[in-house]
Amino acid sequence: MGMALGVAAEEPSTRSGAIDTELYPRNADEALARLQDGNQRFMDENPRHTHEKAAWRSHLVGSQKPFATVLGCSDSRVPPEFIFDVGFGDLFTIRLAGNIIAEDVVGTLQYAVSHLHTPLVVVLGHEGCGAVSAAVDEMTHKKAKELEHIESLIRLIKPGLSKLDLKQNQEALLSAAVEANVRWSMQQISSSPEGKRALRERRVTLVGGIYELATGRVRFLE
């Protein structure tokens, strides 16, 4: 996935209590570039920690204008604001086990695109996802069924894993399953009537990514 545009931004002010002046991304390309730049700072252990001061929080009391929506997993190791080195008001975040698509998730995505006008939606999976691993274990008959409500999550994941080669080694299988699950969530978003319309009208760009636990890198999918 090529990036044509960079992010036009000023350096954050160093004055105590000052509001960060980094410019709002003008489109989805700039929004994605900003996430990629932030992820690089996170990996380099050189975060800015912008948009966290009291002055910025006060600026957001009356309204919000996040520049991207992230559908991610509830896993405690994968907080999007840390991974992308952003702060209050920058991301509209939806988190639940396995970054699945369910009716309430669709409603939240509709709100993000229709009311908050975020130009970018990111489906963010991660290595070692427990929900995806549970689905794979059931498909390979390595584990009995889970508790009732966990099973409801697994049922939403399994269709996206139907084309996997279940005979490959466990590490490769889980890696492939995580990516397949991200693509499955993206497919469901893009094939819904509202998603088709938003993408066709270029009101939003949809991308997928995989967070690597060991390196901290987000690998965006082609």
State pLDDT tens for residues 99-111.
Answer: 999 999 999 999 9
Tell whether the model's pLDDT for residue 18 goes beyond 50. Answer: yes
Q: CA triplet 46, 51, 55: central angle to 5 degrees?
A: 135
Q: Is 1 among the domain residues? A: no
Tell whether the model's pLDDT for residue 29 goes beyond 70. Answer: yes
CB of 93 within 8 A of CB of 123?
no
Q: Is 57 among the domain residues? A: no
Averaged pLDDT, 167-189: 97
Domain holding 67, by residue range, is 63-220
CATH number at residue 204: 3.40.1050.10
CB of 220 within 8 A of CB of 206?
no
What pLDDT does 50 receive?
Answer: 87
Q: What are phi and psi of 117, to 5 degrees?
A: 60, 40
Q: Is 13 among the domain residues? A: no
pTM of the model: 0.89
Q: Is 12 among the domain residues? A: no
